[in-house]
């Protein structure tokens, strides 16, 4: 009987069969491989770290070499302020107006300095000075946290050693490289000097403002005595200055310096250097500061002179200089006091907080320049930097262009409503007066007639006239141009009026006569030039007569003097700016009052407060000078223009005609 076929696969021979290893043995094999794997991982990590350390060390050496590449010579400490420029600015009579540059005092070791001074510096600058090795990580973390909370950089975290490193060897630039170099130098200083030596170096080299380097120079400059005699209040003030010496220097910002000193007193109380009672008592006793800047100081003028020095004598950059100027101290004092009186009285009542005065000789020499009420509170120079609308004082250029085009002072125009491209100028009173002569319209400052004569002469001619007489700011030929809607500098405006006062010759303002080195080498000397005519003699004479009428019978009555004078008032829209510019036979002056934020004043016009300040100043400035008619020196200017050799004679006669008679120079 046969068997049925099946689907089974034939059985393999024993030789070809693979036996599956028991499960237990498989587990044993895995457990045997674990130890070598761990050892291999450890070796790889160790090797990697070693390589990273070697490369890190090598990179560190490269970085240190890079940072040290341009470090200064550490074996020769530079003198404090050695790179600063020393400048002496002198008045026309030889009196020193200001001295700028490094000032040094006696070297005072830290143990000999007042204990209050040392404690004040440590409290506000480096509380853990005697504990750290150059870097205070606690202070650094505290500064970072403070900056994060404030959302801006308000605390630096630098130790006294770091500050010394920066002051000795580095610049004030804020870069990562400079900061890294500062840290390296701080470590070096800590290794080379003791804490006492570092503190001594710091106290005698740190900058306090006003050119004073070191505690003794600062003490003598601001308080008038040696640093060994500093009181607690004085010590706190000095310690507070190093944060911002230029802006907090007590001689220009006594209020700011004292507010910062109160912060230092609070820090001294927090560190236990003062009790609460002592701190409270000292806070009520601010120190007496000598030489504090007042409103009548000359710093506005000397700041302008330093700017002009860089312009007229680029070769003087970086050198120590003596600058001889045109300023007359007596005229400067009269200008500043007149401005102060006007703003303290009427100005305070009617919302005028600021002002400026410029006074020129008729050739453009600046005799006085006051750029604000108080230089200590604001160094912004409103006489040369500010751009303000002159109002109707700009009508000078409109009427000069009209006179040149053939319009005469007695020609008749009608004061009535006019329309120019949809614009209708209004008079200050809001009324119209009908027919009147050009002379009367100018004296009364009638806006509609000023616009009419400007349109007839041509707007472009008016704009060109302003440029010709010395206006340096942009002047667009707009229909409203005669009303002074374009902004100008007060210094430029004064120069333009001086061009009429001298009979029609350019009177570009200048303040520098000569610049020399401290050794006497002449770097710059103003070269006398022949006067350049910008107006015909007839035009200048007619305009001077119209300006005289504006003072005697028109809007400038408050500027009347004890001698012939001519001038023009100006008021911008909403009484935001008020100006008076005018001249006598001897001097031209321009006055501006207003507010820095251009907020309106309470009804102040150019014919009011500015005219009264102008008159107050001019009366004092001319005391003792003989009365002379307007354009008295026009002949001298004309003669000098015809003969170059006579120009020096013109200068000598001008000086004799006014300054020598007035001040005996």
| Residues assigned a catalytic role | 125, 392
3-state helix vs strand vs coil in the chain, percent to 5? 50, 10, 40
Q: Which of 232, 259, 276, 251 is nearest to 121 (CA)?
A: 232
Rounded Cα distance between 490 and 466, Å, is 13
Q: How far is CA 245 from CA 153, 249, 374, 475, 513, in A?
A: 18, 5, 19, 40, 32
Please tell me the total number of residues recorded for the chain in this structure.
665
Are the C-beta atoms of residues 74 and 169 closer than 8 Å to each other? yes
Q: Which of 543, 633, 540, 646 is nearest to 587 (CA)?
A: 633
Burial class (CB in 10 A: 0-12, 13-18, 19+), 180: middle
Count of CB atoms within 10 A of residue 417's CB? 9
Rounded Cα distance between 608 and 347, Å, is 10
- Complete DSSP assignment for 410-437: T-EEEE----BTTB----TTS---EEEE
Burial class (CB in 10 A: 0-12, 13-18, 19+), 56: exposed
| C-alpha dihedral, 401 to 404 to 410 to 412, nearest 10° | -60
Rounded Cα distance between 650 and 632, Å, is 13
Backbone dihedral angles phi then psi of residue 508, each to the nearest 5 degrees:
-70, 120
């Amino acid at each position: 009987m046969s068997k049925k076929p099946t689907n089974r696969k034939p059985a393999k021979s024993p030789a070809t069969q693979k036996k599956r290893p028991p499960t237990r043995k498989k587990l044993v094999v895995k457990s045997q491989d674990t130890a070598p794997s761990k050892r291999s991982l450890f070796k790889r990590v160790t090797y990697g770290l070693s390589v990273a350390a070697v490369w890190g060390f090598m990179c560190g050496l490269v970085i240190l070499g890079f940072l040290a590449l341009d470090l200064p010579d550490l074996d020769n400490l530079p003198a404090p302020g050695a790179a600063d420029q020393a400048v002496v600015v002198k008045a026309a009579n030889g009196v020193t107006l200001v001295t700028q540059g490094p000032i040094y005092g006696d070297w005072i070791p830290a143990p000999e300095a007042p204990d209050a001074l040392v404690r004040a510096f440590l409290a506000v600058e480096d509380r853990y000075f005697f504990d750290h090795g150059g870097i205070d990580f606690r202070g650094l973390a505290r500064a970072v946290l403070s900056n994060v909370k404030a959302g801006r950089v308000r605390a630096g975290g630098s130790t006294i050693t770091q500050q010394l490193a920066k002051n000795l060897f580095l610049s004030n630039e804020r870069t990562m490289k400079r900061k890294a170099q500062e840290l390296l130098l701080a470590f070096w200083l800590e290794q080379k000097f003791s804490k006492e030596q570092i503190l001594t170096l710091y106290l005698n080299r740190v900058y306090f403002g006003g050119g004073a380097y070191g505690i003794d120079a600062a003490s003598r400059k601001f308080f008038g005595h040696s640093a060994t005699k500093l009181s607690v209040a004085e010590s706190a003030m000095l310690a507070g200055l190093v944060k911002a010496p230029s802006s907090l220097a007590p001689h220009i910002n006594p209020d700011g310096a004292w507010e910062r000193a109160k912060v230092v007193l609070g820090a001294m109380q927090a560190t236990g250097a003062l009790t609460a009672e002592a701190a409270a008592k000292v806070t009520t006793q601010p120190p007496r500061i000598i030489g504090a800047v007042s409103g009548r100081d000359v710093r506005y003028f000397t700041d302008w002179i330093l700017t002009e020095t860089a312009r007229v004598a680029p070769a003087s950059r970086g050198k120590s200089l003596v600058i001889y100027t045109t300023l007359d101290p007596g005229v400067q004092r009269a200008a500043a006091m007149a401005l102060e009186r006007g703003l303290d009285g009427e100005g305070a009542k009617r919302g005028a907080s600021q002002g400026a005065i410029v006074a020129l000789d008729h050739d453009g020499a600046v005799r006085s320049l006051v750029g604000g009420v108080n230089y200590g509170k604001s160094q912004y120079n409103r006489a040369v930097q500010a751009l303000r609308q002159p109002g109707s004082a700009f009508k000078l250029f409109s009427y000069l262009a009209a006179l040149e085009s053939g319009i005469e002072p007695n020609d008749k125009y009608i004061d009535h409503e006019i329309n120019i491209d949809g614009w209708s100028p209004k008079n200050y009173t809001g009324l119209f007066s009908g027919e009147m002569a050009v002379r009367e319209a100018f004296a009364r400052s009638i806006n509609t007639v000023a616009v009419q004569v400007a349109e007839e002469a041509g707007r472009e001619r008016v704009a060109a006239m302003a440029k010709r007489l010395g206006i340096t700011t942009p002047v667009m030929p707009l229909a409203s141009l005669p009303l002074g809607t374009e902004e100008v500098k007060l210094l430029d405006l004064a120069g333009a009026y001086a061009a009429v006062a001298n009979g029609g010759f350019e009177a570009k303002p200048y303040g520098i006569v000569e610049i020399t080195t401290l050794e006497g080498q002449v770097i710059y000397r103003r070269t006398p030039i022949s006067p350049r005519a910008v107006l015909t003699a007839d035009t200048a004479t007619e305009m001077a007569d119209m300006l005289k009428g504006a003072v005697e019978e028109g809007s400038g009555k408050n500027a009347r003097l004890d001698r012939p004078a001519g001038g023009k008032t100006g008021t911008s829209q909403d009484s935001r700016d008020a100006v008076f510019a005018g001249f006598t036979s001897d001097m031209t002056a321009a006055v501006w009052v207003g507010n820095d934020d251009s907020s309106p004043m309470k009804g102040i016009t150019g014919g009011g407060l500015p005219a009264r300040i102008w008159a107050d100043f001019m009366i004092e400035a001319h005391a003792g000078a003989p009365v002379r008619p307007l354009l008295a020196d026009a002949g001298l200017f004309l003669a000098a223009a015809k003969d170059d050799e006579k120009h020096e004679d013109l200068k000598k006669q001008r000086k004799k005609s006014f300054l020598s008679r007035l001040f005996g120079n």
